[in-house]
Homo-oligomer: A and B are copies of this chain.
């Protein structure tokens, strides 16, 4: 059955769950949702567009739904905040199967359940491409709030784990290569690092999730903190599998890590005093000089590329 034939009401019943959290006074079904909030609230919105952020021949509908929630939770996590509520705005081709939408929601709910968050509202309209706009709200204690503008010269720059798999997985799909199942899966099913983020939040001077490549994220931090950075190329942690993919495609695995994206690991800065309080891999230092430099075998190169371009030609 196509969504055109089922009608708005039939579809809403299939994708809605009864609120569990007692702070949700009104969920899906009114002009707006109503929730009880305590303290500081964090809000983010991000959008997945068919052909740009996913392809339906690579991703299952469930994986698309999962990714849509994970990438937004990742933004909340990068603030040091706890995610709470989700709004889903869908623009869908009218001849899409109802099952597609149900599976999309199945994926969204699966990730929501994992993080104990809930979809409280949304809307659905039609469009020639699938466009999934998600808003996630969260709560944060002021002492845990991690902004981009808190880095200072001589802070260390760390990443939470290996990076480069996001771009490596994308390249495998683009080139239609066999094997490398784990890398492919890490591209198709990215995960927010909420637990890691909450653990380190009280100790970092700035934090971001790596959605657009390490160089681009460090540039964000430096722009907002009015400083620069030096990244030690040989310290950038790249998985053996991502290196193998790069070798196979005759590409540079450091390009994957620096200018790729969709790794969703965290990049953060800490003072020397806090270095032993956080888990992570040291990849660089914040500098007073406002340039972003890459140190290669003791030589410094200025990084001018700014990572993944949202207006590039997509996937």
Interface residues of A (CB under 8 A from B): 3-4, 7-9, 25-26, 29-37, 39-47, 49, 52-53, 75-76, 78-79, 81, 85, 87-91, 94, 120-129, 131, 133, 135, 137-138, 140, 145, 147-149, 208-209, 224, 306, 309-311, 313-314
Contacts and interface: CB of A to CB of B under 8 A. Distances in A.
Contacts of A88: 45
Residue among A126, A145, A149 with max Cβ neighbours from chain B (10 Å)? A126
A123 B120 CA distance: 21
A309 B49 contact: no
Q: How many copies of this chain sit in the oligomeric assembly? A: 2
Given A121-B44, A310-B8, A311-B7, A138 B32 contact: yes
A260 B196 CA distance: 51
Contacts of A124: 310
Contact of A44 (B32, B125, B309): B32
A110 B245 CA distance: 50
A87 B7 contact: no
Contact of A79 (B32, B224, B310): B32
A42 B37 contact: no
5 nearest interchain CB pairs? A133-B133, A32-B44, A31-B75, A31-B78, A45-B87
Contacts of A127: 49, 52, 127, 129, 131
A31 B8 contact: no
Given A30-B224, A31-B75, A43 B85 contact: yes
Contacts of A128: 128-129
A170 to B, nearest CB: 16
Contacts of A9: 306
A52 B127 CA distance: 8
Contacts of A46: 89, 123
| Residue from A8, A29, A125 whose CB has the most chain B CB atoms within 10 Å | A125
**Residue of A7, A39, A46, A88 with most chain B CB atoms under a 10 A cut-off:** A46
Given A89-B89, A311-B126, A137 B43 contact: yes
Given A35-B41, A41-B37, A311-B4, A126 B30 contact: no
Contacts of A145: 25, 34
A89 B133 contact: yes
A79 B25 CA distance: 12
